[in-house]
Structure 1
Amino acid sequence: MLQAKSCSDSLAVKTTQVFPPDTNIHGTLFGGRLLAHIDDVASIAAIKHARQPVVTASTDSVDFLAPVKVGHSITIEAFVTWTHRTSMEVFAKVITENLLTEEKRVCNTAFLTFVAIDETGRPVPVPTVYPETELEKKLFESGSIRAQQRKDRKTRSKELANELGAGFLWEKDK
């Protein structure tokens, strides 16, 4: 039996500065670049929890709350909030800081799911997680609801994918 771990045992934090190549024509951080940073930090949190390699199974909620500008920094905090047999839900919070004025804002929140795998790529069990703080308890208690929503969304996505088929959409009218 795997020993349960606290949410804080998986905490991963990363700070990086935003440079011009990271931004769009408005001088704000590309959403895809931010998603890559979030996936990186969240995967570290999942690996710390499972102490196994992991793969990203879903990114189900990414909310952009404020722009991130050139010259600002972003700090991403991520930790495991809920677990199932082989999967882990990870919550990530992104804070942007104007490094000249010290103004900080939460610019993004996200929930991601990771699956722990063995050396052959097969899913393996992960330790359960237990919350300690009020925020961790709130996220933990609603984790099973988000897991069911992910499952339902995946079913709908598969149905749509089957309906669309593997051909390109513009070829459908021919």
Structure 2
Amino acid sequence: MKIKAPKESYTIMNELVLPNDTNTLNNLMGGRLLHWMDIAAAISAQKHCNSVVVTASVDNVSFHQPIKLGDVITIEARVTRAFTTSVEVRMDVYAENVPLGIRNKSNEAFYTFVALDKDGNKVNVPQLQPETEDEIALFDGALRRRQLRLILGGKMKPDDATELKALFFAAQKK
């Protein structure tokens, strides 16, 4: 199976915030943004896996500032690490007021996807080879984020989270 670089899964998605996407304060509804993020991340994951993927988890998504009616949303997504049958995808979300020329980072998040065959069975995914310093840092942190997701999802006991324990014990020794 071919080893892939993060740039091979890089995806950019743009959306215009229309009245139907907003709440009574003319701010983008959070659920609509999560929907768009799920689509962008799934496209990125499918590019890496060359198969259908399904969302397995969504990490904490914090809203740094409101996104307004008329803003253009840009979602940048790329795979940060591949495991056996799943991939982690990082997204950065920007809101741009095009007439004013103002662009701000609005959100960032990690989504996890599982690759499936045509019968809905899990399939192995290509491994990922990070190339840049940023990609290496995201790759290295992915195992800790994965262990935290598994603990929070009840699929791993905290005592088994070796990467997380090493992080906390290293912090205590300083």
TM-score (norm 2): 0.87
**Alignment-derived partner of residue 117 in structure 2:** 118
Question: SS of 1:141's equivalent?
Answer: helix
CA distances 1:83-103 after superposition (whole Å, capped 9, x unpaired) = 110000000110000111111
Displacement, 1:119?
0.8
Task: Give the Cα separation in 2 of the matches to 1:126 and 1:13.
Answer: 22
Structure 2 residues without counterparts, runs of 5 or longer: 156-174
5+ residue gaps, structure 1, are 157-174
Residue in 1 that maps onto 2:17: 18
Q: Which portions of structure 1, spanning 4 or more consecutive aligned residues, are displaced by more than 4 angstroms?
A: none
Deviation at 1:61, TM superposition (A): 2.3
CA RMSD in angstroms, aligned pairs only:
0.9
> What is the CA–CA distance in structure 1 between the aligned matches of 2:114 and 2:49, rounded to whole Å?
9
Report the equivalent of 1:165. none
Report the more deviating stretch, 29-38 or 128-137. 128-137
**Residues 20-169 of structure 1 aligned to structure 2 (within 5 Å):** 20-155=19-154
Residues 94-144 of structure 1: CA deviation (Å, up to 9, x unaligned):
000011111111001010000000011010000011111222111111000
Q: State the distance in 2 between where 1:135 and 1:26 align.
A: 37
In 2: Cα distance, 1:7 partner to 1:25 partner: 39
User: Paired residues, what number?
Assistant: 155
Aligned-residue identity in percent: 43
Once the two structures are TM-superposed, the CA of residue 81 in structure 1 deviates from its matched residue by: 0.1
